Amino acid sequence: MIKEMRWGILSTGLIADQFTRDVQRLSDHKVVSVGSRSLEKANEFADRFSIKKRHGSYIELFNDPEVDGIYVATHHPLHARDTIAALSAGKPVLCEKPFAMSYEETKAMVDKAHEKNLLLMEAMWARYLPHMVRIREIINSGVLGEIISVRADHGQWFKLDPEFRLFKPELGGGALFDLGIYVVSFASMVLGTPERVTARSTKAFTGVDGQTSIILEYKSGAQAILTATNLAATPNRALIVGRDARIEIDRTFYAPTTFRVINNKDEIIDGWDKKYVGHGLREEAAEFARCLRSGEKESPMMPLAETLSIMKTLDEVKSQIGLTFPEFIK
């Protein structure tokens, strides 16, 4: 039984910084090792967080005997390669979203986890947040009645810099994979796998998608209307509409926030307004550690079958909007 969860952090970018900072709020978790292609960057990161061990190669990190699990936070196009390498070295993996760049890559990652009999989990951090847990409980209670529609938008304003990763094709940039993953995953959480996908997009100045709109249709007749853009700031809200009631999730829906459950008489019958301290990334770390301690090979909150389903949806969106990515420049 693992008492203290000992993390190895792969890469030293912004999301790795935020994850490490938030995990330090957990008394039974410790970041013990960091790996980067640059020992200088590994040292800088380790010094910032008082991490004892630092490695100038990913393989050294994967082979560190003091590490219980690897958090993969490299660029999107490297998720599959790095996750498979870590699993091959015998390490359980929490991999950042988007999990990979295609269904094919995702399947290879899942297959390797099964082959090695190791825990693998998608770091879709919104899924593990307390308000999202409560939303699933409310949906499962039946108080909303039959779900009719889901709406979610995710838009952020960024400077039009061709070197910024969200606009850089070789880094897997664009609205769909960096921002759209949140709205697609949210619809999946509520409605499951769609029967039909319709997508339209406008390209940004570098050729990646700058704005993408998606309609998902389901066997039940329900629809999800989803939008993502890296060209402008949007409300970043979400809505789940049932025959008997609806859930209105405030800005920013995928981060710690508030929501209300409103019936057909426009009466608030439930909600969430609890204060949250910290970023929220520690919730996925806690769930990963729980799974590892219990011997589970995937999380019931984010099953691998659902991760595969989401990637199939993203593949279909990519195909419809003509989104392609060049080979990553290592």
Query: What confidence tens digit (pLDDT) does each residue in 177-218 have?
Result: 999 999 999 999 999 999 999 999 999 999 999 999 999 999
- One-letter amino acid for residue 36 of the chain: S
Which has more pLDDT, 247 or 330?
Answer: 247
Which residues share a beta bridge with 226?
152, 214
5-124: CATH number: 3.40.50.720
Query: Could you tell me the pLDDT band of residue 1, with boundaries at 50, 70 and 90?
Result: low
pLDDT at 296: 98
Q: Is 11 left (phi over 0), alpha (psi -120 to 50) or beta?
A: left
Which helix (H) or strand (E) is 59 found in, with range?
helix 58-62
Angle at CA of residue 199, ends 195 and 202, nearest 5°? 170
Q: Is 45 left (phi over 0), alpha (psi -120 to 50) or beta?
A: alpha
Query: Could you tell me the pLDDT band of residue 326, with boundaries at 50, 70 and 90?
Result: confident
Q: Return the residue matching tokens 């981060």.
A: 255
DSSP string across 119-130: -EEEE-GGGGSH
pLDDT mean over 251-259? 98
Question: How far is the CA of 10 from the CAs of 6, 45, 139, in angstroms?
Answer: 13, 11, 36
Task: Please count the other Cβ atoms lying within 10 Å of the Cβ belonging to residue 149.
Answer: 18
Mean pLDDT, the chain, whole residue set: 96
DSSP string across 180-208: IHHHHHHHHHHH-S-SEEEEEEEE-TTSS
pLDDT mean over 4-9? 97
Which candidate, 314, 301, 297, places its Cα nearest to that of 111?
A: 297
User: Measured between alpha carbons, how far is 110 from 193 in angstroms, rounded to an integer?
Assistant: 18
The pTM of this model reads: 0.96
Fold classified for 127-280+311-321: Dihydrodipicolinate Reductase; domain 2 (3.30.360)
Q: What percent of the chain has a predicted confidence (pLDDT) above 90?
A: 97
pLDDT at 99: 97
pLDDT tens for 34-57 read: 999 999 999 999 999 999 999 999
User: Measured between alpha carbons, how far is 47 from 235 in angstroms, rounded to an integer?
Assistant: 37
pLDDT at 329: 44
Tokens of 111: 């297959």
User: Measured between alpha carbons, how far is 200 from 71 in angstroms, rounded to an integer?
Assistant: 33
Gyration radius from the chain CA atoms = 20
User: Measured between alpha carbons, how far is 194 from 1 in angstroms, rounded to an integer?
Assistant: 39
pLDDT at 330 over 80: no
DSSP string across 69-119: EEEE-S-GGGHHHHHHHHHHTT--EEEESS--SSHHHHHHHHHHHHHHT--
Q: Return the residue matching tokens 């390490």.
A: 91
Beta-carbon contacts of 47 under 8 Å, excluding residues fewer than 6 positions away, are none
pLDDT at 87 over 50: yes
- One-letter amino acid for residue 291 of the chain: C
pLDDT tens for 308-324 read: 999 999 999 999 999 99
pLDDT at 180: 98
User: Measured between alpha carbons, how far is 77 from 223 in angstroms, rounded to an integer?
Assistant: 30
pLDDT tens for 211-242 read: 999 999 999 999 999 999 999 999 999 999 99
Domain borders along the chain are 5-124, 127-280+311-321
